[in-house]
Amino acid sequence: MARKKSSFEKFFSFSRHRKRWGGGKFAVALTDYEPLKTRLVENTDKDWRKGHQEDIAEHIANLRVEFAGKAELLFEHAKLIVLIRREYKAKEMYAQFRAMWDKEADYLAENLNMRWLISAADTFADHDQHIADRSIALMTSAFATTIKIYETERYITASENNTVLQQRVATLQPDQPQTPLFDGMCLFRVGTDDTLRNLHWRLKPFFKQGAVGKIAAAIYERMQINDTAFARLRRLHHRSRTMWW
């Protein structure tokens, strides 16, 4: 496994210094967020290029293309994450990021897409000084990443269009013996199981923990309505007292 570079190695890495050259031009301190909610990033004929650009000015110009037609506040949020990841005055930029979330958590949680909600969770996990917030953020990121991984496997094995086998659903009912998975785990009892309801109950107190809790709640809720195993099992669920949504 590749190891993470030490602070000493980072300091003497030319490429790391080059990635943040010119960052000062984009590090603008914001205090009034309200106008940025209604002011939209200008539309453009340019195509958004997915991926990383070495030059920070080029990268942020491409970022504006990604947010074309959306609120400036969402672009400013993404720009802060870019500056933090490129280690341009990371502590100062993180303080701005944290202040934005402390004041505009409801707006950001509702309007950011999953890509940027997960990036926000990663940023909290990497940089916040409060271990509780870092833990909630890491839990959120791990949850989203797990779904991304198994949905990727589902895609590459061409199993996304498989139909539900009702005869197998029938074997996963309370009146049937539990079906082993591995190492003592058993499969989910489709339609009745209380596992996801109990998970939701355990998560709910964390959803109330300030800005990072709102990120966790937003990501959890979107996983229930988009095409994930949660939503697919939800469609098969029929026991009301074990609903998890």
Tokens of 238: 């029929």
Query: What is the pLDDT averaged over residues 128-154?
Result: 97
pLDDT at residue 17, rounded to an integer: 46
4 domain residue, yes or no: no
What is the percentage of the chain residues whose pLDDT exceeds 70?
Answer: 86
Specify the pTM. 0.86
Smallest Cα–Cα separation from 65: which of 50, 77, 80? 50
Q: Point out the least confidently predicted range of 48-57, 78-87, 170-179, 182-191.
A: 48-57
135 domain residue, yes or no: no
Give the integer Cα–Cα distance in Å for 206 and 214: 9
Bigger pLDDT: 15 vs 4: 4
Biggest CA–CA distance in the chain, Å, is: 65
Do 90 and 158 belong together in one domain?
Answer: no
Do 97 and 148 belong together in one domain?
Answer: no
pLDDT at residue 27, rounded to an integer: 64
126 domain residue, yes or no: no
pLDDT at residue 84, rounded to an integer: 96
Do 102 and 146 belong together in one domain?
Answer: no
pLDDT at residue 10, rounded to an integer: 61
Do 36 and 107 belong together in one domain?
Answer: yes
**pLDDT-derived band at 75, boundaries 50, 70, 90:** very high
Number of domains in the chain: 2
118 domain residue, yes or no: no
121 domain residue, yes or no: no
CA 185 to chain centre: 27
Q: Range of 231's domain?
A: 141-242
Do 94 and 146 belong together in one domain?
Answer: no
Query: What is the pLDDT averaged over residues 96-120?
Result: 98
Bigger pLDDT: 5 vs 200: 200
Smallest Cα–Cα separation from 225: which of 71, 114, 112, 108? 114
Do 176 and 104 belong together in one domain?
Answer: no
Query: What is the pLDDT averaged over residues 162-175?
Result: 95
Do 167 and 236 belong together in one domain?
Answer: yes
Do 108 and 145 belong together in one domain?
Answer: no
Q: What is the pLDDT of residues 191-227, one digit of tens each?
A: 999 999 999 999 999 999 999 999 999 999 999 999 9
Judge whether residue 163 has pLDDT over 90: yes
What average pLDDT is seen over the chain?
90
Do 84 and 156 belong together in one domain?
Answer: no
Query: What is the pLDDT averaged over residues 6-23?
Result: 56
Distances in Å between the alpha carbon of 3 and those of 52, 123, 139, 205? 21, 20, 22, 35
122 domain residue, yes or no: no
Judge whether residue 26 has pLDDT over 60: yes
214 domain residue, yes or no: yes
Domain boundary among 112, 129, 163: 112
pLDDT at residue 19, rounded to an integer: 56
What is the percentage of the chain residues whose pLDDT exceeds 90?
Answer: 79
222 domain residue, yes or no: yes
Helix count and strand count (H, E) for the chain: 12, 0
Judge whether residue 3 has pLDDT over 80: no
Per DSSP (E only), the strands in the chain are none
pLDDT at residue 29, rounded to an integer: 76
**pLDDT-derived band at 45, boundaries 50, 70, 90:** confident
